[in-house]
Amino acid sequence: MYDVWKNALAEIEQQISAANFSTWFQDTSLISTDNGSIIIGVKNSFYVKQLRNRYIDIIKTALKNNNIEVNTIDFEVQTNVKSKVRPREITKSDTAIKNRVKTIRNQSPKEQSNHSTGLNQKYTLDNFVVGSNNDLAVSAARSIIDAPGDRYNPFFLYGGPGLGKTHLVQAIGNELLKRNPNLKIFYTPISHFYSDFIDSVKLGKGKEFNLKFRKLDVLIIDDFQFIVGKEKSQEEFFNIFNDLYQLNKQIIVTSDRLPSQIKSVDERLASRLTWAGAFDLQLPKFEDKCAILQAKAELMGAEIESEAIEYIAENVNTNIRDLEGEFSTILLMSEVRGLTPLELIQNGSVNVNKSSKLRPTSPKQIVEKVAKYYQLTVKDMCSKSRVANIKTARQVAMFILSKELSLSTNKIASEVGVKDHTTVMHGIKKIEKDLKLDFALRDQIEEIKEKIYG
C-alpha cells in the first residue's frame, strides 16, 4: 500500500506546485483501500477540508491510474500518519499543548519572551495554519529551517497587518533553535534596533552594538517599514547586513510593503533585501479562514459548530487578527451565557461584521466617489474610452463594487457602462494582480473607501 501511495503522490506532484505539494501532501498516508473505500491519513483536521475541496479529483485520478478502485474517499486525522487507522484520541501531548497555551496567556509579554533571542515560544509552525494565502511563504520558511543561510537569504516577507508575518518569522527562529540550541538567533522589531543603536551611540558603545549583531547566526528584523527617515540606522543596518550575508548567516526581514516602495530607503539596501525574492502574505480566502478557526478551536480544546465557524469566516473580511479576535469573543460569550456559539449567532446575541467600514447604500455612490477621486465625471469614467487613467478608474470601480457589495459581474457591467461580464471579470482580476505589488494602488483604493464610508 505504501508503494501505491508513493506512486500516486509522484503523479500528484507533477500536477500542482512544489509549494502546494509540500504543504498538503508531504505528511499524508494511504491507510485503507478496502472495497474501494479509500481512507487517507492526515496530521490535522483542517487539512481534511483543504484536500477535499481543492484536490479530491486529482487524488481520485492518481489512485485510479495506479489500479486502485475508488468509490469513496475519506480522511482520518492521525497523530502519526504512518500508523494503522484508529480513532483520534486526546493524547498527553495534546493536553500539554493546551496547558502550555493557557500558561502563555496568563504570562506577561516580558515573561513570554526568551531574553537571549527575543523570540516568543508560542509562535510555532505547528500552530501556523497554511492556506492558499501563504503557502509559498511557508514553503520557503521550511527550506530556511532545513538549510539556514542557503537558498532564501535574505528572506523578505511582506503583507498587511494581522496576516501572520511576525508569527511565521518567529516560528522559523523557534524551529531552528529546536534543531540546534547552540545557534545565536536574535529577533527584534526595527524600532528597537533603532532605539538601541541611538543609545549605544550616546553611551559611546557603538562598537559593542555592532559586534553583538555580527556574532549572530540568524537575524530577524520585524516591521522594517518603520526605518523611514532614520538614515544613520539604515547605514548601520546596511553594514551589518553585508557582513552577515558574506558569512552566509541567515537574514529575515518583514515589512508591510516592498523595500522599493518604502520612502527614503537607500536603493542599495532595498535591492539587497530582495536578492532572494520577496514573499507576500495575502488576505485569507473563506476556506483558509475556516481552517484557521478550526485549528484554533483544536488547540484551545474548544467546541464550536462548523456553521458558527463559517459564519465568522464569512463576516470577517479584514485580517487574521480580527478573525481570531471575533472567534475568542464568541467563545467567551458562549461560556458566560451557557449557550453554544451557534445558538448565540442564531438568537442575535452577536453581530460579526468586520469589514473596513459599514457598507455603502448603493452602487451609484461607489461609482460617483471613484470618478470624483480620479477627477473624472461619471459619464467619462463609464464611457468606452481606452485612455489609461479612465480605464484604471473604471477597473477600480469594478473591483470595489465586487468586493464591497458582492454584486454579480452582469450587474457591475451595467453600473460602469461596459458591454458584458467578461470585461468586468478581466478588470477585477487586473486590479487583484496589481494590488500584490502596487502599494500606491492599494493606498488609492483605501483612500477611496474612506471617502465612500466617511
pLDDT category, 131, cuts 50, 70, 90?
A: confident
* Judgement on whether residues 275 and 187 belong to the same structural domain of the protein: yes
Q: Is residue 409 pLDDT above 50, yes or no? A: yes
Q: How many CB atoms lie within 10 A of CB 56?
A: 12
* Judgement on whether residues 117 and 232 belong to the same structural domain of the protein: yes
* Judgement on whether residues 242 and 201 belong to the same structural domain of the protein: yes
Q: Could you please report the per-residue DSSP string of 407-440?
A: --HHHHHHHHT-S-HHHHHHHHHHHHHHHTT-HH
Give the residue from 219, 196, 193, 189 showing the smallest Cα distance to 109: 189
354-393: per-residue pLDDT in tens? 554 455 568 999 999 999 999 999 999 999 898 999 999 9
* Judgement on whether residues 215 and 334 belong to the same structural domain of the protein: no
What CATH number has the domain bearing residue 320? 1.10.8
pLDDT category, 318, cuts 50, 70, 90?
A: confident
Q: Is residue 268 pLDDT above 60, yes or no? A: yes
14-58: per-residue pLDDT in tens? 887 665 676 678 778 999 898 889 999 987 666 787 788 788 989
Q: Which of 181-190, 291-300, 388-397 has the lowest mean pLDDT?
A: 291-300
What CATH number has the domain bearing residue 434? 1.10.1750.10
What CATH number has the domain bearing residue 26? 3.30.300.180
The pLDDT value recorded for residue 88 is: 30
Based on the structure, what is the number of domains in the chain? 4
Asked if residue 12 is part of any domain, the answer here is yes
* Judgement on whether residues 403 and 428 belong to the same structural domain of the protein: yes
Say which DSSP state 339 is in. -
* Judgement on whether residues 268 and 293 belong to the same structural domain of the protein: no
pLDDT category, 91, cuts 50, 70, 90?
A: very low
The pLDDT value recorded for residue 359 is: 54
* Judgement on whether residues 119 and 195 belong to the same structural domain of the protein: yes
The pLDDT value recorded for residue 102 is: 45
pLDDT category, 113, cuts 50, 70, 90?
A: very low
* Judgement on whether residues 223 and 292 belong to the same structural domain of the protein: no
* Judgement on whether residues 232 and 313 belong to the same structural domain of the protein: no
- Write out the residue range of the structural domain in which residue 315 sits: 286-346
Query: 288: Cβ–Cβ under 8 A, 6 or more apart, which residues?
Result: 129, 131, 132, 133
The pLDDT value recorded for residue 108 is: 40
